[in-house]
C-alpha cells in the first residue's frame, strides 16, 4: 500500500495484485474516502491504517474518524461485516474497544528499547525483560467482541463482560 498515497494509487495496487481476493488483505487508510472503505468490505479481511490527519493512533481526531468508519464497517449490532486487522493498534486502550480479528505494531520493539522510559525501583533493566512485560500487558486484554461507540473514552471495554 501507499500509506499517504491517493485512492487511485492504492486501487491500482489491488488491480495489479496477483493473488485472489480470498487470500488478500487490502488497506483502508483513514484519510481515504468512506466510499472506498465500503468497496473494500467485499474482501474477507480488511486492514485499517492510520494516515494523513488521522495518523496519531488513539487521539480524539483519530477516534472520531474511527467511529465514523465503524458505522460503515459494522452492522446494527456492532458486528463487523468482514474481519478487521488493526495496523499500529496494539495499545490495549485502542484494541480493547475495536472488534479486531488481528493487529500488529512495532510497540514492543520500540518501547522495550527505550531505556529512559523505564524508571523507578522496579524498572526492568534488560530489553528482553521489558519486552516480556509489554507482551504480558497486551495479552491481558482482549479485542472487543463488537463495536460499541460508548466504550470509547473508557480504558476498558466493559461490554466484554456482559
3-state secondary structure the chain: CCCCCCHHHHHHHHHHCCCCHHHCCCEEECCCCHHHHHHHCCCCEEEEECCHHHCCCCCHHHHHHHHHHHHHHECCCCCECCEEEEECCCCHHHHCCCCCCEEECCHHHHHHCCHHHCCCCCCCCCHHHHHHHHHHHHHCCCCCCCCCHHHCCCCCCHHHHC
162 pLDDT band (50/70/90 cuts)?
very low
pLDDT (tens digit per residue) in 31-81: 999 999 999 999 999 999 999 999 999 999 999 999 999 999 999 999 999
The model's pTM is: 0.82
Residue 153: the pLDDT is 61
Query: What is the average per-residue pLDDT within 124-135?
Result: 84
pLDDT score of 133 more than 70: yes
Amino acid at each position: 500500500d501507499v500509506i499517504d498515497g491517493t485512492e487511485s494509487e492504492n486501487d491500482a495496487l489491488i488491480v495489479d495484485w496477483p493473488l485472489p481476493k480470498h487470500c488478500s488483505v487490502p488497506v483502508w487508510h483513514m484519510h481515504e474516502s468512506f466510499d472506498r472503505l465500503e468497496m473494500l468490505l467485499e474482501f474477507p479481511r480488511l486492514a485499517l491504517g492510520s494516515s494523513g490527519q488521522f495518523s496519531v493512533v488513539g487521539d480524539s481526531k483519530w477516534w472520531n474518524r474511527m467511529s465514523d468508519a465503524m458505522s460503515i464497517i459494522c452492522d446494527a449490532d456492532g458486528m463487523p461485516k468482514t474481519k478487521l486487522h488493526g495496523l499500529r493498534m496494539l495499545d490495549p486502550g485502542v484494541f480493547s474497544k475495536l472488534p479486531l480479528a488481528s493487529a500488529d505494531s512495532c510497540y514492543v520493539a520500540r518501547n522495550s528499547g527505550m531505556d529512559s522510559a523505564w524508571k523507578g525501583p522496579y524498572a526492568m533493566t534488560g530489553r528482553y525483560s521489558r519486552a516480556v512485560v509489554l507482551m504480558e500487558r497486551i495479552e491481558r486484554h482482549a479485542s472487543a467482541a463488537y463495536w460499541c461507540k460508548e466504550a470509547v473514552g473508557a480504558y476498558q471495554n466493559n461490554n466484554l463482560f456482559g
